[in-house]
Structure 1
Amino acid sequence: MEWIWMTLAGLISGILGSMGMGGGGVLIIYLTLIAGLDQRAAQGINLILFIPCAVLALFSYVRKGLIDFRTALSAAAAGLVGALGGVFLSGWLDVVWLRRIFGVMLLFIGVRELFAKKPPPREEKEEEEKEKCGNQSAEK
């Protein structure tokens, strides 16, 4: 029965992660709270799961022309520096503090999402709507 929950956690994490929605949070919560793994082990497993998900998602995003490579390379460089810092910090901090930091981050993100203002519609969509309205009134 445990493998069913593990499979579901991995599936949901993969789906959310490939959509860029932080599926690792789901997996880490499952691995620490339900599977009883140490925070560091859960983070390591999460990183391993992320590799194939990222490769598959990246392939799809590149194929659809959704990647701005200049921005992506800047973000990747900053991410590598952050990853090195994170590796150092996770080895230096006690597991209790890692769990607390992770929990506070999840809480912050959740509260922010609950109270975030809806982003304004993109200008392209507004222009398309105007064109549709103009075409409909011309047909009448």
Structure 2
Amino acid sequence: MIEILTGIAAGIIGGMGIGGGTILIPALVFFLRVTQQIAQSINLISFIPAASLAVYVHNKNGNIEKNILIPLIISGVIGAIVGSMAAVKLDPSVLKKIFSGFLFIMGIYEIFSKKAAKRP
């Protein structure tokens, strides 16, 4: 049951563009007791269908700036290759600390950022 609830929560957060991994990875590590590398691998696999649907909906609603896609895709693929090679070589406890630090920094940023929301 925890797998289903985790999947739903991660899907909702991922569909919003926040990133379902912020829910999925900690849930897999803490509740289902998988290693950090396995959790991140599962996150990447589950991300594909959820992201595909989210891209379709956001594109349909005109929320994608197509002129910046190619540079983002190319640099994202390069980053994914480098990051996955590094993740496989890192000790799970080190990887967990890096991921935790990233989430902490993003949380602090979100609390203190005062960006005005764009309205059409």
TM-score (norm 1): 0.80
In angstroms, what is the RMSD of aligned CA positions?
1.4
Question: Per the alignment, in what secondary structure is the counterpart of residue 45 of structure 1?
Answer: helix
The 2-side partners of 1:121 and 1:16 are apart by 18
Q: Greater share of helix residues, 1 or 2? A: 1
Question: Do residues 48 (structure 1) and 15 (structure 2) align?
Answer: no
CA offsets 1:17-71 (integer angstroms, 9 cap, x no match): 1111111110000000111001111111101110000110111112222212221
TM-score (norm 2): 0.92
Alignment of 1:11-22 (within 5 A): 11-22=8-19
Of the two structures, which has the highest relative contact order with CA contacts closer than 8 Å and spacing of 6 or more? Answer: 2
Identity %: 35
CA offsets 1:78-122 (integer angstroms, 9 cap, x no match): 1101101101111221111100100111111111111222x2354
Q: Which residue number in structure 2 is paired with residue 67 of structure 1?
A: 64
Question: Per the alignment, in what secondary structure is the counterpart of residue 62 of structure 2?
Answer: coil
Question: Per the alignment, in what secondary structure is the counterpart of residue 88 of structure 1?
Answer: helix
Size of the aligned set, in residue pairs, is 120
1:10 is aligned, of 7, 11, 15, to: 7
The 2-side partners of 1:66 and 1:35 are apart by 35
